[in-house]
Amino acid sequence: MQIPEVMRTVPLEYYLFFSTALFVIGVLGVLTRRNALVIFMSVELMLNAVNLLLASFSSYRQDSVGQVFVFFIMAVAAAEVTVGLAIIVMIYRNTKSIDVQLLNRLKG
What number of residues does the chain have?
A: 108
Which member of 10, 28, 74, 87 binds other proteins (CB under 8 A)?
87
Nearer to other proteins, 3 or 97 (CB): 97
Phi–psi pair at 71, nearest 5 degrees: -65, -40
* H helices present in the chain, as ranges: 3-7, 12-32, 36-61, 65-95
* Greatest alpha-carbon span in the chain: 60
Q: Which residues bind other proteins (CB under 8 A)?
A: 16, 23, 26-27, 30, 36, 39-40, 43, 46-47, 49-50, 53-54, 57, 61, 63, 65-66, 68-69, 72-73, 76, 79-80, 83-84, 86-88, 90-91, 94-95, 100, 103, 105-106, 108
